[in-house]
A = this chain, B = another copy of it.
Amino acid sequence: MRIGELSERTGTARRLLRYYEEQGLIIASRGANGYRDYDEATVDRVIQVRGLLDAGLPTRIIKQILPCLDKPRAIYFPDATPEMLATLEAERDRMARRAECLLRNRDAISEYLDAVRDYNRV
């Protein structure tokens, strides 16, 4: 599929799809005319990437965790250097802390909303 369709199906500006490619987050083959040609799986990947960006991860880190996300686990572990593994662990823990923070605050908001509803019902 070409960039227009991918843009539409992921709700992502074309500009950003090119940017993600530049950052190594997605790949595109090229037609004879130079047009980008995307794989069907790229739709999910873009959605993944957007979710992580929205959750505060920079493209640099997202790129590092991408190998973890391939559906059928890749047979080859080319970049599994000790440093990379340490980075992944650290980043995984950081994500867990972020999620905790979000859930804690989500609960606080819910409680607040409940309190307001109680107050307004009286």
Chain A residues within CB distance 8 Å of chain B: 48, 51-56, 65, 67-69, 73, 77, 80, 85, 88-89, 91-92, 95-99, 101-103, 105-106, 108-113, 115-116, 119-120
Contacts and interface: CB of A to CB of B under 8 A. Distances in A.
Binding site secondary structure of chain A: helix
Contact of A95 (B102, B116, B120): B102
A96 B109 CA distance: 11
Which 10 A-B pairs rank lowest in CB-CB distance, beginning with the nearest? Answer: A56-B56, A68-B112, A51-B101, A99-B102, A92-B109, A99-B99, A95-B102, A95-B106, A55-B98, A68-B109
Copies of this chain: 2
A12 to B, nearest CB: 15
